[in-house]
Amino acid sequence: MPDLAIQTSGLVKVFGETRAVDGLDLQVPAGAVYGVLGPNGAGKTTAVRMLATLLRPDGGEATVFGHDVVREADAVRSRVSLTGQYASVDEEMTGAENLILLARLLGHRKPAARERAAQLLEAFGLSEAAGRQVKTYSGGMRRRIDIAASILNTPELLFLDEPTTGLDPRSRNQVWDIVRIVVAHGTTVLLTTQYLEEADRLAGRIAVIDRGKVIAEGTPGELKSSVGAGAVHVRLRDAATRPDAERVLTEALDATVYLDADPVALTARITGNGREAAAAEQASRALARLAEAGIVVDDFSLGQPSLDEVFLALTDHPAAEEAAA
């Protein structure tokens, strides 16, 4: 039985008519990234706020490193740090000034505060921007300074609430690298996200939450084997070849092929039996068959299932409904 960083049982938070968190059961092992995957309104931020002692649960129990989040809130608070969905550094100050000020507030003397700030700015690729006001930072730089601010004192547990939402792929990669650095230094990370790919890249285990409850839990591999490994997207040179392409793909992949609204595009869902390598192999076989059949392909990609596809597979309703609920 590995050490648990977080354990919740039947955790509940109600806002008026909304059961934002509705009987949440989580077991988060220490020392790794744990992904909480869910659409808008699933209850991710509410759950994180209760675990970080910022919000009082209406029911159930939650412990962080064995300490109850209500009865032992101080013990929990001293061990955790939260980087919110909405960042909290001061826009008017420079990156360096923010970190130095926060380090001073945490009780570091001035030289130590400067040193820690410089260390983090360097590690997070922000040395050059250190002297610029945060309001001039790009979205990606902004997330990085925010994460830096939350680990000035290395927390035992770091909550990262949708750290990459709205970032471009390059900034997203930079944030992922930072998360890996943080975990390598011994911090447990609870990461909420709307992207399966992100949870897959970073997390050892993932909980999928829907309407305040866990609807699936496991390693990324286990999750993907239950929802399918992804989809092959093909764009043809000539729309007239689509019926042939549909037949070839159906045979090669032994999967259902969908005709997209775009007359030159097709999508085939593949299982890969939950293994990335098998999915890639299936996809390249499909591409070879199309070439053999003389069908010209302009564009071809193998993508992971989207959150919508995960939700369709697990709940028989798309994630988008949640936002409206």
Ligand X SMILES: Nc1ncnc2c1ncn2[C@@H]1O[C@H](COP(=O)(O)OP(=O)(O)OP(=O)(O)O)[C@@H](O)[C@H]1O
State which of residues 7, 40, 173, 306 lies at the interface with ligand X (CB under 6 A): 40
Choice between 15 and 258, CB closer to ligand X: 15
Tell me which of ligand X, Mg ion, none is bound by residue 305, counting a contact when its beta carbon lies within the kind-specific cut-off of 5 to 8 angstroms: none
Stretch that binds ligand X, among 34-42, 215-223, 240-248, 260-268 (CB under 6 A): 34-42
Quick one: which of 48, 19, 4, 25 has its CA closest to 190?
Answer: 48
Residue 35 binding ligand X, by CB under 6 A: no
Identify the helix (H) or strand (E) that includes residue 270: strand 265-270
State which of residues 21, 36, 41, 45 lies at the interface with Mg ion (CB under 5 A): 45
Stretch that binds ligand X, among 12-20, 108-116, 196-204, 259-267 (CB under 6 A): 12-20
State which of residues 33, 35, 37, 41 lies at the interface with ligand X (CB under 6 A): 41
Stretch that binds ligand X, among 44-52, 71-79, 148-156, 290-298 (CB under 6 A): 44-52
Sheet order of strands, 4-15 included: 18-29, 4-15, 59-64, 67-68
Choice between 18 and 226, CB closer to ligand X: 18
d(CA 149, CA 130): 13
Give me Rg for the CA atoms of the chain: 23
* Interacting residues with Mg ion between 79 and 108 (CB under 5 A): 85
| Contact partners, residue 53, CB within 8 Å, separation at least 6 | 69, 70, 73, 76, 77, 80
State which of residues 22, 28, 43, 148 lies at the interface with ligand X (CB under 6 A): 43
Residue 46 binding Mg ion, by CB under 5 A: no
Identify the helix (H) or strand (E) that includes residue 9: strand 4-15
Contact 197, 37 (CB under 8 A): no
Contact 223, 34 (CB under 8 A): no
Choice between 44 and 67, CB closer to Mg ion: 44
d(CA 34, CA 225): 18
Q: Supply the minimum distance, in Å, between the C-beta of residue 192 and Mg ion.
A: 7
Q: Supply the minimum distance, in Å, between the C-beta of residue 23 and ligand X.
A: 14
